Structure 1
Amino acid sequence: MRQPSAQPNHPGPPFNAPAARRLRAALGMGPEHVAYGLRASYGLPYVTPDLVIAWERGTLSPSNPELTALAGVLWCSPGELIGRARTLKEHRIARALAPEDVARAVGHDLDVYLRMEDTGQWRGTDRQAAALAEVLELSLPDLVTVTGREGKLGELLRSAVATRWQAYVRPVGKIVPLERRHLEHTLQALHQEYQGQMVATLSWAGGNAADDSRDAGRDFLDRIVERFWTAVENSSAY
């Protein structure tokens, strides 16, 4: 039976189980070798081959200290064992940085920074956000997500495609620091795509045109942030 990990109340980051299995196989190691390394070198006496297999199958996920130790045994960085990071803590762990390092880089007291990690609520200036992006090597979409602005961005984008997109260039630009012409091109393209889809659905849907159009519009709006970043990439905005 698995014993409690070093931090049982703190779930680990999203774990990339296939990567762990692939890295172990590339080293010619069996689950028993990994378990032994975690016990002998990293002070995790409860780790068994069955626990390693459970991690690799995705039925259990390692905690933060377990993942760091596993990376050491597999001769890789913790980031190679993490799925797509979404939160501030996950991005920090993926870069193998201590909280103190990030707090110092962005100019926050450690306790303030740790509170932001725990609550998922970023509190900082634009300059501090830029420093955060640099130290954690965040893409623009990831920076918007970890600083808690993705929800507001979605609201603005939904309004932009459903009404006059021109009125939303400046509000969106405050969240997403893109060149104005690129932002205008992106919002215009999204607006045209949404409006064109709505018209096409009404034209071809037959007797249930209104319902089909509403469903199509809802799906578009539900994925509006994802569509926005795709459109930004297509316009070579960053």
Structure 2
Amino acid sequence: MPVNTQAGEPRRPPFHAEAARRLREALGMTPAHVAYGIRAAFGIPISPATVASWERGESAPSETELTALAGALWCAPGDLLDAPGTLREYRLALGLATADLALRIGMDRAAYERLEAGGKWSGNDRQAAALAALMDLPLPALIRFTGRDGTLADLLTSAATTRWQAYVRPVGKVVPLPKARLQGILQELHSEYQATMTATLNWSGSGSAEESGRAGRAFLDGILAEFWARAGERHPHETPPSAPRSPGHP
């Protein structure tokens, strides 16, 4: 069963093939044992060859198969995934069904499913906070999943190119960081942007305006990443995969 990214692009869960193999071997099981466990406990007809194919990275389990594989290996689904990058991947790592997750954060199930499929965030601040807490979302991921990354990028661009002091409060409404910390970050971004423009003017000589414009645009194109790096917030794709749990601790 294909898994959609936040933008709606079909993808499978980010399966960690090596982790699956290590967990199986630690339990003293063969692919045949795993296939039998999945079939007996979950009623899913999986062959030993399919299990071996997953472990070699030639194919990946669907959402249902991933949950069953985790049960057969006595681990959490998150132990079998690489770093999540989409909202659905974060949910899969917790082993939650969409209905369970929607109930826990107080959101209509259909509205949540639309969000996973690439739809716009329709929840409120309380639901966003519940989503972040339940999934242990990095702040950049929460901002992206709730559709505020475009707004943040626009505010940061204005702060870097005009008077940064005027944007401390608007940025703070989007990103819940201490005011003093935001002031320092916005001042740094403003100073670096201005330094980039000035340095390019000095390097370019007679053709400076065009070169300076290109350098400035390049800086602004990456301003979100620059902001998160200075904020010290981990990016979703930089989260290391979960360490395999010991047998007997699902």
TM score, norm. by length of structure 1: 0.78
Distance apart, 1:59 and its partner CA: 3.7
Decide whether aligned partners of structure 1 residues 140 and 24 sit closer, same or farther in structure 2, where only a CA change above 3 A counts. same
- How big is each residue's C-alpha offset from its partner over 1:39-63, in whole Å with a ceiling of 9 and x where there is no partner? 34332214342x3343334442221
Instruction: Identify the residue that residue 13 of structure 1 maps to in structure 2.
Output: 13
After superposition, where does 1:152-163 map in structure 2 within 5 Å?
Answer: 152-163=151-162
Distance apart, 1:210 and its partner CA: 6.2
Which shifted more, 128-137 or 37-46?
A: 37-46
Separation in structure 1 between the aligned mates of residue 86 and residue 180 of structure 2, nearest angstrom: 30
- How big is each residue's C-alpha offset from its partner over 1:182-208, in whole Å with a ceiling of 9 and x where there is no partner? 111111112222332343344446898
CA contact (8 A) 1:87 1:145 kept: no
Which shifted more, 69-78 or 206-215?
A: 206-215
Structure 1: gaps spanning 5 or more residues:
1-6
After superposition, where does 1:175-186 map in structure 2 within 5 Å?
Answer: 175-186=174-185
Separation in structure 2 between the aligned mates of residue 31 and residue 212 of structure 1, nearest angstrom: 59
After superposition, where does 1:200-219 map in structure 2 within 5 Å?
Answer: 200-204=199-203, 213=212, 216-219=215-218
Distance apart, 1:213 and its partner CA: 5.0
Separation in structure 2 between the aligned mates of residue 145 and residue 14 of structure 1, nearest angstrom: 19
CA contact (8 A) 2:185 2:230 kept: yes
Instruction: Identify the residue that residue 131 of structure 2 maps to in structure 1.
Output: 132
Instruction: Identify the residue that residue 8 of structure 2 maps to in structure 1.
Output: none
CA contact (8 A) 1:116 1:122 kept: yes
Decide whether aligned partners of structure 1 residues 229 and 222 sit closer, same or farther in structure 2, where only a CA change above 3 A counts. same
Instruction: Identify the residue that residue 47 of structure 2 maps to in structure 1.
Output: 47
Instruction: Tell me if 1:148 matches 2:147.
Output: yes
Separation in structure 1 between the aligned mates of residue 33 and residue 27 of structure 2, nearest angstrom: 10
Which shifted more, 197-206 or 172-181?
A: 197-206
TM score, norm. by length of structure 2: 0.75
Decide whether aligned partners of structure 1 residues 182 and 46 sit closer, same or farther in structure 2, where only a CA change above 3 A counts. same
- How big is each residue's C-alpha offset from its partner over 1:137-187, in whole Å with a ceiling of 9 and x where there is no partner? 223222112212122222322332233322322222221122222111111
After superposition, where does 1:54-73 map in structure 2 within 5 Å?
Answer: 54-73=53-72
CA contact (8 A) 1:154 1:224 kept: yes
Q: Name the amino acid aligned to 1:166.
A: Q
CA contact (8 A) 2:38 2:46 kept: no
Percent of aligned pairs sharing the same letter:
54
- How big is each residue's C-alpha offset from its partner over 1:97-118, in whole Å with a ceiling of 9 and x where there is no partner? 2323322232223333333333
Q: Name the amino acid aligned to 2:194.
A: Q
Distance apart, 1:81 and its partner CA: 1.8
Distance apart, 1:28 and its partner CA: 4.1
Decide whether aligned partners of structure 1 residues 179 and 52 sit closer, same or farther in structure 2, where only a CA change above 3 A counts. same
Structure 2: gaps spanning 5 or more residues:
5-10, 234-250
Structure with greater contact order relative to length (CA < 8 Å, sep ≥ 6): 2
Separation in structure 2 between the aligned mates of residue 18 and residue 129 of structure 1, nearest angstrom: 34
Separation in structure 2 between the aligned mates of residue 21 and residue 202 of structure 1, nearest angstrom: 56
Decide whether aligned partners of structure 1 residues 189 and 68 sit closer, same or farther in structure 2, where only a CA change above 3 A counts. same
Distance apart, 1:36 and its partner CA: 3.6
Instruction: Identify the residue that residue 89 of structure 1 maps to in structure 2.
Output: 88
CA contact (8 A) 2:160 2:186 kept: yes
Give the number of aligned pairs: 227
CA contact (8 A) 1:38 1:47 kept: no
Separation in structure 1 between the aligned mates of residue 44 and residue 73 of structure 2, nearest angstrom: 15
